[in-house]
Amino acid sequence: MNAVASILSALLLLLSVPIFMVFGLGSATTAIWGMNLPWSTLIQVSFGSMTKHVLIAVPLFIFTGMVMLRGGAAARLVHFATTLVGHWPGGLGIAMVLAMGFFAAFCGSILAAITAVGTIMIPQMVQQGYPKPFVIVLAASAAFLEALIPPSNAAILFSALTDVPVSRTFAAGFVPGLVLLVLLSLVVTWRCRHLRNPKRATAGDRIRAFWFALPGLFTPVIILGGIYAGLLTPSESAAVAGIWAIFIGIFAYRELTLKGVLLALHETARITAVIFAIIAMATFLSVVLTYSQTPQKIISYFTEMGGSPLAFWLAVAVICLILGTFVEIVPVFYLTVPIFAALAVSLDQDILHLYIVFVAFAGIGMITPPVCVGIYTAAGVAKESPEKAFREVPLFAGVGIIFGILMIAFPQAATWLPDLLN
């Protein structure tokens, strides 16, 4: 029956069946007919996985980002980033990376970040002579900063799976996020060193751009300040951020309309439904793993084989890199994190270090075919065929691998800030 379930899952995946159906049908087949578990057990565990309090923050952060997009904050952030570095060699590309980093601090959705910043920046960059395939892959790669720079939905999902406090997972992603931002900026500077905006912003232009962007820039202060001051839980902080986004969209920027709010709610519902459908069905797999004691068997096998921490990190890197190429990052979380976390604990490795290494390698799948949802989204914004952008993928995939290796070699990047805040 396990073999039948595996073949069924592989067949469904090859047929491009939605990933939540692949998880659900394959795992349910094993659980019900292979282990004789009742449907009620699967439903109860699945319901429990979706009703964890920490997950309330996921749709609230997505809503905040969507309102910022509709209310004008995203445009001000992009303009501010452009006035800072737009005159540098490759300055518009660096401005896109910075704007993605700013927007990641309150967005909670990688695809929303690509849409928000890419809609503004991609036409400007193409007009300035940047190769459109390069711009598309850069937008998809820079949007991945959302998975690291807090607040991040990836951090929330990881905390829900491992019971690590969200505040610590948020803090773990900050320094690695800055490292990735610098690496991407260096690549843009080298690759587009012959492209430069001849018009340099004056000090007055920068001050005005900062002043208009200030309400948006204040959003992460509300979110993270409330959490680390102990005043708000992550869910409460996300709710306050959503109210703040509506407030500045209506009163500060005067661009947010009732239609904009309704569109933000619609997009939030659509993205949230996708995430929670995957969570619900992936929980079926966790039931199978629990009842079959698969994590314990893997730990015993790894220990008996004399597996070292270095071998463990290399295994995490390779597995995440392969899975991320074919499956989106959320299902990869639910497919592997329970096993990886148990192995990390048995080897006395920090769980927060696991989070950063995992995200670094699994996130490369955002830009690698055949899934590469980041490239498809950015190509849609650029109105270009995604296949034309694939030739730029090796450069940025290489940057991702270098970043992942650095995170393996320097665990302090993930653990220093959480330990300091403690």
Report the 10 Å Cβ neighbour count for 371: 18
User: What value does the mean pLDDT take over residues 332-351?
Assistant: 87
Do the beta carbons of residue 113 and residue 100 sit within 8 Å? yes
Residue-level pLDDT at 164: 92
Residue-level pLDDT at 26: 74
Whether 243 shows a pLDDT value over 90: the answer reads yes
Residue-level pLDDT at 204: 93
User: What value does the mean pLDDT take over residues 28-48?
Assistant: 79
The CA R_g of the chain, rounded to the nearest whole Å, is 21
Q: Is 351 left (phi over 0), alpha (psi -120 to 50) or beta?
A: alpha
Give residue-wise pLDDT tens across range 161-205: 898 999 999 999 999 999 999 999 999 999 988 887 667 888 999
Q: CA nearest 224: which of 213, 235, 237?
A: 237
Burial of 296-330, coded b for 16+ CB within 10 Å and e otherwise, reads eebbeebeeeebeeeebbeebbebbbebbbebbbb
Whether 1 shows a pLDDT value over 60: the answer reads no
Confidence tier at 13 by pLDDT (50, 70, 90) = low
Confidence tier at 121 by pLDDT (50, 70, 90) = confident
- Which tops the pLDDT comparison, 52 or 290? 52
In the chain, % helix, strand, coil (3-state, to 5) comes to 80, 0, 15
Do the beta carbons of residue 352 and residue 172 sit within 8 Å? yes
Q: For residue 89, what are the β-bridge partners?
A: 196
Phi and psi angles of residue 152, each rounded to the nearest 5 degrees, phi first:
-130, 135
| Residue partners of 242: CB distance under 8 A and separation at least 6 | 60, 63, 64, 67
Residue-level pLDDT at 265: 93
Counting residues of the chain whose pLDDT is more than 90, the rounded percentage is 32
Q: For residue 289, what are the β-bridge partners?
A: none
User: What value does the mean pLDDT take over residues 381-401?
Assistant: 90
- Is the sign of the CA dihedral 123, 393, 275, 3 positive or negative? positive
Residue-level pLDDT at 147: 86
Residue-level pLDDT at 10: 67
Q: CA nearest 68: which of 219, 272, 280?
A: 219
Confidence tier at 9 by pLDDT (50, 70, 90) = low
**Angle CA(221)–CA(224)–CA(228) in degrees, nearest 5?**
125
Give residue-wise pLDDT tens across range 123-168: 888 888 899 999 999 998 998 888 898 888 889 989 988 989 999 9
Tally of structural domains, the chain:
1
Mean pLDDT for the chain overall: 85
User: What value does the mean pLDDT take over residues 241-254?
Assistant: 93
- Which tops the pLDDT comparison, 66 or 422? 66
Whether 417 shows a pLDDT value over 60: the answer reads yes
Q: Please name the residue that has the structure tokens 């995490």.
A: 316
User: What value does the mean pLDDT take over residues 243-254?
Assistant: 94
User: What value does the mean pLDDT take over residues 251-270?
Assistant: 92
Domain range for 263 = 2-421
- Rounded to an integer, what distance in angstroms lies between the CA atom of residue 227 and that of residue 39? 39
Residue-level pLDDT at 307: 72
- Structural tokens at position 400: 């991702």
Residue-level pLDDT at 43: 82
Confidence tier at 106 by pLDDT (50, 70, 90) = low
Q: For residue 196, what are the β-bridge partners?
A: 89
- Structural tokens at position 61: 């952060």
Q: Give the global pTM.
A: 0.85
Q: Is 89 helix (H, G, I), strand (E, B) or coil?
A: strand
Confidence tier at 357 by pLDDT (50, 70, 90) = very high
Q: Please name the residue that has the structure tokens 């730990």.
A: 299
Confidence tier at 306 by pLDDT (50, 70, 90) = low
- Structural tokens at position 306: 């004399």
Residue-level pLDDT at 35: 77
- Rounded to an integer, what distance in angstroms lies between the CA atom of residue 383 and that of residue 362? 27
Residue-level pLDDT at 330: 78
